[in-house]
Structure 1
């Protein structure tokens, strides 16, 4: 999967605009040029497209980790070695760390994209490459995780939360269905009266960056 697509879908899922994206790169000690950012956000068939290098997507993910978990004192973000490649497994690991996902969270988000994966299958993706149970992650896993994140965070509040997806496998009782109906009615009223969101840093999942 092209790193351009990963960056574009991550930004969309988390509602990260240009200003916030540049600030995230800055957290990883990288001064991102706006023109270059726009070029790597383009699709291959678009004029002015430039490929997003492994180093760039790594810096962005490291910036997300620092934004969410804080920067460790006395330590600089690790730079990807020259000619080194960021594997899908590494990419998934960085997203997991940045978003503080547990195995159950990732499985639930994959379910939002109609992609089923068992806990043992998922664990194999996070093993060390020399582990006997290690499995390389395919583009399909990354693509569906990003799609699930879009549904979770950008569906106007209709995306299922992790807890509700996990709980949905158990049949609801009559009292639970009644309570759920009342909650949904209240949520719809709030949604109808709530001000419309704009694409600004404050509306990002990350808040003001």
Structure 2
């Protein structure tokens, strides 16, 4: 599952309009126009040579997730002594699925119980320990890399919860 597919699923689950998608990218520090958003969200055939889709790389996806947090919760003022803009988290982490879980959890103010419920709605059972391992910082001894199956089911659970 590539970043474009994750964006498509996230947009569907949260019912985000194209104009809002462009605004979210802008809040995250990535300048994307509405026509470019449409090209990012367009599914294309792998064999098609006139591929008009814009590939969403990890930095774009991270910018979108950061923008989603600001869009949903508002801009947080940095505390004294903190840098103005934190270091991009995707550079530290090779797996964007873990970032997806963490940042959507923050953006939607989900509790651990809410997240377990989302996985349950998608038809898989995840324990608190497994979820905690997915949400840990990379390098922690209990950190577990989030696979596409977990990310796909998390987004499916979001769609069921918010779309009915």
TM-score by length of 2: 0.84
CA distance in 2, matches of 1:83, 1:145: 23
Say if 2:114 is the partner of 1:140: no
Contact kept, 8 Å, 2:121 with 2:160, in 1: the verdict is: yes
Q: Which residue of 2 aligns with 1:102?
A: 111
Q: How many residues align?
A: 155
Contact kept, 8 Å, 2:95 with 2:145, in 1: the verdict is: no
Contact kept, 8 Å, 1:54 with 1:86, in 2: the verdict is: no
Contact kept, 8 Å, 2:58 with 2:90, in 1: the verdict is: no
CA distance in 2, matches of 1:51, 1:24: 17
TM-score by length of 1: 0.67
Q: Unpaired runs of 5+ in structure 1?
A: 156-209
The one-character-per-residue Cα deviations of 1:122-177 (angstroms, maximum 9, x if unpaired) are: 1111122222211111100000010011111112xxxxxxxxxxxxxxxxxxxxxx
1:53 alignment partner, one of 46, 51, 57: 57
The one-character-per-residue Cα deviations of 1:38-62 (angstroms, maximum 9, x if unpaired) are: 2211224174123211111111111
The one-character-per-residue Cα deviations of 1:64-95 (angstroms, maximum 9, x if unpaired) are: 11122221225336446779745211221111
Task: Quote the offset at 1:119 in angstroms.
Answer: 0.5
Q: Structure 1 residues 113-122 or 70-79, which shifts more?
A: 70-79
Say if 2:11 is the partner of 1:7: no
CA distance in 1, matches of 2:129, 2:120: 16
Q: Which residue of 2 aligns with 1:88?
A: 97
CA 1:48/1:76 → structure 2, altered by over 3 Å: closer, same or farther?
Answer: same
Q: Which residue of 2 aligns with 1:68?
A: 72
Q: Structure 1 residues 142-151 or 19-28, which shifts more?
A: 19-28
Contact kept, 8 Å, 1:28 with 1:77, in 2: the verdict is: no
Q: Structure 1 residues 33-42 or 6-15, which shifts more?
A: 33-42
Q: Which has the larger radius of gyration?
A: 1
Contact kept, 8 Å, 2:90 with 2:96, in 1: the verdict is: no
Q: Which residue of 2 aligns with 1:21?
A: 21
CA 1:143/1:48 → structure 2, altered by over 3 Å: closer, same or farther?
Answer: same
Q: Unpaired runs of 5+ in structure 2?
A: 79-83
CA 1:92/1:125 → structure 2, altered by over 3 Å: closer, same or farther?
Answer: same
Say if 2:127 is the partner of 1:118: yes
